[in-house]
Chain A
Amino acid sequence: MSVERNAKALPGQPLIELANVSKRFMLARERRRSLQEIFIRLVTRQKAERDSFWPLRHLSLTINRGDCVGVIGPNGSGKSTLLKLITGILAPDEGHMLVNGRISSLLELGAGFHPDLTGRENIYLNGSIYGLSRAQMDARLDSIIDYAELGDFIDTPIKHYSSGMYVRLGFAVAIHTDPDLLLVDEVLAVGDANFQRKCLISIQHFRDNGGTLFLVSHDLGTIQSICKRAIWMDHGEVQADGHPTDVVMAYYARLAQQEEAKAQKSRQHGSDHADGESAPTAADAPPRRWGTGEVRITKVELCDAQGEPRTNFHNGDTLLVRLSYTAPQRVEAPVFGLAIYHQNGTHICGPNTKFGETPIPVVHGDGAITYCVPALPLLEGSYTLSVAVVNFANSETFDYHDRLYDFQVYRGKSNEQYGLVTLNGMWELAEIPANLDQQQPTMLQV
């Protein structure tokens, strides 16, 4: 195990290099040092048995100057441990680490603020925690005060600050230390919307001026928009490292897979109760299912292109809804339909066989009908499905399942982020006015 830290970044060397680094945490640390334990161990000559787990295992990673790395992964995947190793709060148990240059971390804004000191005094104190001299802080003082938007409060002890002011001051100092590497851990979730935007702009500014950024976030959109490289961590190992879109897609695919496995399990588990489809009367789960029961929908399946049932889809996937029904008696010209709702209650669409010009002359006995969406236009989110069968005039409801079938859509083909659906429209650059030809690049940077 070795760690090398240099205050100055050396040219030609990576900023950070981790070679086969592992970190171990001991569990049950409290017990091992009690006198009883020590005594028993001495007498029985046993080595203390301690559980340990490895938040990081054999991790190798190189970060070069100007890299802009986003780290994603579920909780407990080792992201924060990695950050703490890089900052130097924790030391690795195995492997070698090289850290060049000064690091400023936004792990905890305002760590080390002294409540009894004024804002101005705390700026100096905090600056020296990041390793800056008094002269360096003098040069930055005005800019920091200006950035933090504290006004006259700058000479008030910070115990009187609101939490927003506290965080603003902390961020202002951190961003003004001109670090070689800026570590950001979910910090954008603090402060009000205006300040969040300001932080984001500052971080982008830092990146654009050649700063190296290491960002941990659950907000994959932020990662995709800020970073040029993403690392997906899970179980203390790097699962993928590359272009953010590719890595995020791979991460989503795994999430969807896991969700699917979970959903399948619960389907199997719950199947004993669920498919006993008793007559759909008004008394049977009143708000969710009703109808006369002349035609009953006995099974609703959401399937992928291969016809496999699933509840997780990607934007752009094929969605196939298969309705199985049974009609104890002959029913003429029924209309099958469905409705898709967003989680927030918005009714997105309601196709049926009548609109779809697929008339069904008569049903009798068991049968099935499918509705196919070749490329799902829904954007990322949670959706729910209603299905119904009614008579042709829509005056009688035979069976209605109101928002009983949930499904998830993950980011896929479309990169769109706003609203609920993509219209799959096409953008095209029409024509550029000839006299503005010279300024064309700036024109496009809207």
Chain B
Amino acid sequence: MNTAIPIQPKRPGSLFVHRLRELVRYRELVRNLVTSELKARYKNSVLGFVWSLLNPLGMMLVFTVVFGVLRPNHAVEKYPLFLLCGLLPWNFFSNGVMGSINSVVGNANLVKKVHFPREVLPIASVLAQLVNFLLAFIVLFVALLIFRAQFSPWLWLLPFVILIQTCFTLGIALILSTLNVFYRDVLMVMDVIMLAWFFLTPVFYDVDQWPKTGTLLGYPVDVQRWAYILNPMASLINVYRDLLYKGYRTNLDFFLRTTITALIVLALGYWFFTRYSDRFGEEL
């Protein structure tokens, strides 16, 4: 059959722009998926949205009992507040990652039947967690007022911090949800990894409680510095604490490095996801 117009393969760059534009066109779907996920989660529960607030409060209570009463941690003042500043961002990260792993596989019937940019699924899953996180932030602010915390004059930076954390979470979510299509072991592996990650991140303790220096293969190592470099979550939680708890203005160069890390992870995740998303339809 004659083809009227010879079809030219597109350059990868323009293909990338094309995909992004398609994603923008489907923003309504993202919004609807987020609301339906939130609505579905709290349907048939008596307290509904209140759980977004009660859940972190409950966790705070547990940690406060353990580290405030049973094994008192005198290194940190106003421990419940200190904890909450780390716990809420961590919960957002952890729930965002774990919830999105199944976002593609769990919507197999949709992926196999209808065409739409598949990245919509992990994005919606992470954004639903973001909404929860923002709701829980209300609790945090109430707590901050009660405990008369030191607000940093750099508090206006907070939305950017949340944005950067969302980018980082999304990057990881994109990678893991892709992997989960091909290897269903991802969820099991990530269960363990997230637990380890939780303990390696200064959520319920302060990074100052770590030794300042150590030796690795005979070389002196700045443990605290490396803990931040290797773990963007440690840096992010540190920034949250600076702004909300300690009242510092936070290190801007430090924050910039975290930002770059997060954006690289996001770009990498997006590239990885789009590279394999064409095969989702036949793998599922």
Contact = CB atoms under 8 A, between A and B. Distances in A.
Contact of A62 (B1, B31, B36, B282): B1
B116 A129 contact: yes
Nearest to A137: B28
Interface in B105-134: 109-116
Interface string B1-34: 1011101011000000010001001101101110
Given A116-B40, A128-B28, A128-B31, A89 B114 contact: yes
Given A60-B1, A90-B281, A129-B29, A112 B114 contact: yes
A84 to B, nearest CB: 7
Nearest to A13: B5
Interface residues of B, number: 35
A9 interface: no
A89 B113 contact: yes
B116 A117 contact: no
A379 interface: no
B23 to A, nearest CB: 11
B85 to A, nearest CB: 34
A89 B7 contact: no
B154 interface: no
A61 B10 contact: no
A121 B36 contact: yes
Q: Chain A contact residues (Cβ within 8 angstroms of B): what range?
A: 35 or more
A4 B115 contact: no
A33 interface: yes
B115 A87 contact: yes
A131 B116 contact: yes
Contacts of A131: 25-26, 29, 116
B281 A17 contact: no
Interface in A96-129: 96-98, 103, 105, 107-108, 111-112, 114, 116-117, 121, 124-125, 127-129
B148 interface: no
B156 interface: no
B113 A108 contact: yes
A87 B7 contact: no
A163 interface: no
Given A108-B113, A131-B29, 20 more contacts: A3-B278, A4-B7, A5-B22, A7-B25, A14-B4, A17-B4, A33-B183, A89-B112, A90-B278, A91-B278, A91-B279, A91-B281, A98-B7, A105-B114, A107-B113, A107-B114, A111-B113, A125-B32, A125-B33, A131-B26
Interface of B: 1, 3-5, 7, 9-10, 18, 22, 25-26, 28-29, 31-33, 36, 39-40, 43, 109-116, 182-183, 278-279, 281-283
